[in-house]
Chains A and B, each alone.
Chain A
């Protein structure tokens, strides 16, 4: 290579031009200028390219060598992938009440289906509840559609069977399905959802938005075990007395948490359409009833708190009261002067009416309003009824309301108000949500602690000696009040159609739980000697429920005959020979 001619100093020259033989051509004039210009241009271009490569190189080093934020994208993916459609609902112990599962739904793409008749026939063979003609119609009616549902929510077994057919144009799409493993047991509390998973009743409806956007399960105040016990015992009473329905509520008197809420007949939230519409009705919150003598609890609390009468006072209950077209008489008539505890014990309407009249209509209305009995309660369920309250509060209203007629309230309101009467006088809002344990719950004082203690004694007296003896549960010290109300049919009271209730509190010396059972239209039987009153129909259910639930909620049985308990619940009763302590 060394032998070849030295490189041409001017490669741009025309081929036919040869420079003179005397050395390189002098570079001057226009040629030199052109060369210098191109030199500069080359330099600039090179520098720019170098810069570009430097930038790219730097970026490469940065991406490869240092951790960048982009890595996070990869890590977020699984979380969003596994987000369930709707949050679970659990009870206070974390037992599942409602959950969401992915279930396959079957759809067809009519454009892809090869033989509609054959496809329809094969599908109906594995899914017998489909109609062959209908499926065929769906597959053929509109060839331009590329999506049509054939069947929603298949079981894994059905999905497998359809897959085995290997039909073209038939496919599955996963859909969220709401499931209620406890079926009927908590139906009225949890409620149910529609096909598109929108809440239509109960907690599902009132917390629809929350459940949609939440990931942790929603914990209710309900204790499933207690709920099941209460439901079973109410069902037993309904069956025994051939009643048309019943309701029950258990509440923590110190927090307002609802531990159990039962309304029978009920429904299966997995398929609410299968039950008659009447079963969807929540008797505890949406039903308002004239509750009868249970209401005397409020009359007595009011009279004692306002110091209108005292535990040693009394009223003459010898003769029925006639006012206007009403006659107020006693069911368990004693026909004599009765002391205040006796009026409560024998559930004397005459005594309660006179007591209410002594307090007066205005103070009565104020007191009942303070206990939340005259306004629609605030509660977590959408199915909450307003009480039926007389518009004009005449003396006759004062008297009838004194023993629980002429005013209709829901069992939920009774539970909230009685809890306040026995817990020392603090009214807590009823709630279905689990409150953090151990934290003080806010409430407002509605009556004095002294009145509350006196009311406990009176309630215990009813179970020990009065109309509620059948509610006794040995060791658990129940106190309570019976109530039997004639149902209003049309414009009048129907004497043979009763609403029989028992409202109880236990243990009465240090109240923990309120429990009320109401039985709708019970019929007395031989075992109850034909009686269908609250003391015969509802009280035994309360007794059994308390016996079964007490050990579950950690209540220790106590000796009712121990001197401390006796002394704390002593009530003086008049006897022909003077006042005598009832509990001796």
Chain B
């Protein structure tokens, strides 16, 4: 004979059992995900280290020197190219406010003006970079 109480308990046992296994599988799945994420983090960090080392290797001063000498029309800055802001002559017809602001020229560094050149869009640059070593 099955009393209603027993039925209730049986149902409860089934529900609890189901819930328990459900939670257990969920936890297992989460743990898998966690392990996977941890591995991804480890791999990612290791990759960053490799890239750091490679970046450092590729930006060695002697290599940059060599490449700059071959592909760039620039040379190290000389002391004559560095002047104080106050030594730069005023541009004729500059707005009065600007002139007033510049009057108490602080001894800050500025690079001597470079004669402006018409920029040819991309053509020169493209030929310059096409030969860069890998």
Interface residues of A, Cβ cutoff 8 Å to B? 1, 74, 77-78, 81-82, 84, 95-96, 99-102, 179, 181-183, 185, 224-225, 227-229, 232, 473-476, 547-548, 550-551, 556-557
**Given A82-B41, A96-B56, A181-B60, also A475-B79 (CB < 8 A):** yes
**Given A78-B42, A556-B109, also A225-B49 (CB < 8 A):** no
Does residue B61 face the partner (Cβ distance < 8 Å to A)? yes
Chain A residues with Cβ below 8 Å from B57 are 181-182
Does residue B70 face the partner (Cβ distance < 8 Å to A)? no
Bound: A24/B65 CA distance, A: 116
For residue B60, which residue of chain A has the nearest CB? A182
Bound: A58/B56 CA distance, A: 59
12 example contacts (A-B, Cβ-Cβ < 8 A) are as follows A1-B1, A81-B41, A82-B45, A101-B49, A101-B50, A185-B62, A474-B79, A474-B80, A475-B79, A475-B82, A548-B76, A556-B84
Q: Is the CB of B56 within 8 A of A181?
A: yes
Chain B positions 46 through 83: 1 when the CB is less than 8 Å from some CB of chain A, otherwise 0: 10011011111101111001000000000011111010
Chain A residues with Cβ below 8 Å from B59 are 95
Contact count band on B: 20 to 34
Inter-chain pairs besides A77-B34, A78-B37, A101-B46, 18 sampled, C-beta below 8 Å: A81-B41, A82-B41, A82-B45, A96-B52, A96-B53, A99-B53, A102-B46, A181-B53, A181-B56, A181-B57, A182-B60, A227-B61, A474-B79, A474-B80, A547-B79, A548-B76, A551-B79, A556-B84
Q: Binding site of B, secondary structure by majority: helix, strand, loop or mixed? A: helix
Does residue B29 face the partner (Cβ distance < 8 Å to A)? no
Nearest first, the 4 closest Cβ-Cβ pairs linking A and B are: A475-B79, A228-B61, A557-B79, A96-B56
Bound: A474/B41 CA distance, A: 53
Q: Is the CB of B60 within 8 A of A473?
A: no
Count the A-B residue pairs with Cβ separation under 8 angstroms: how many? Answer: 78
A235 CB → nearest B CB, Å? 10
Bound: A259/B133 CA distance, A: 31
Contacting residue for B82 out of A181, A225, A551, CB 8 A: A551
Q: Is the CB of A101 within 8 A of B61?
A: no
Chain B residues with Cβ below 8 Å from A227 are 61
A504 CB → nearest B CB, Å? 16
Bound: A78/B52 CA distance, A: 21
For residue B34, which residue of chain A has the nearest CB? A74
Chain B residues with Cβ below 8 Å from A181 are 53-54, 56-57, 60
Q: Is the CB of B56 within 8 A of A182?
A: yes
Chain B residues with Cβ below 8 Å from A474 are 79-80
A11 CB → nearest B CB, Å? 19
For residue A77, which residue of chain B has the nearest CB? B38
Indicate the member of A81, A100, A229 with the most B CB atoms within 10 Å: A81
Does residue B93 face the partner (Cβ distance < 8 Å to A)? no
Chain A residues with Cβ below 8 Å from B56 are 95-96, 99, 181-182
B21 CB → nearest A CB, Å? 15
For residue A548, which residue of chain B has the nearest CB? B76
Chain A residues with Cβ below 8 Å from B42 are 78, 81-82
Bound: A182/B60 CA distance, A: 6
Does residue B107 face the partner (Cβ distance < 8 Å to A)? yes
Chain A residues with Cβ below 8 Å from B82 are 475, 551, 556-557
A267 CB → nearest B CB, Å? 15
Bound: A102/B44 CA distance, A: 13
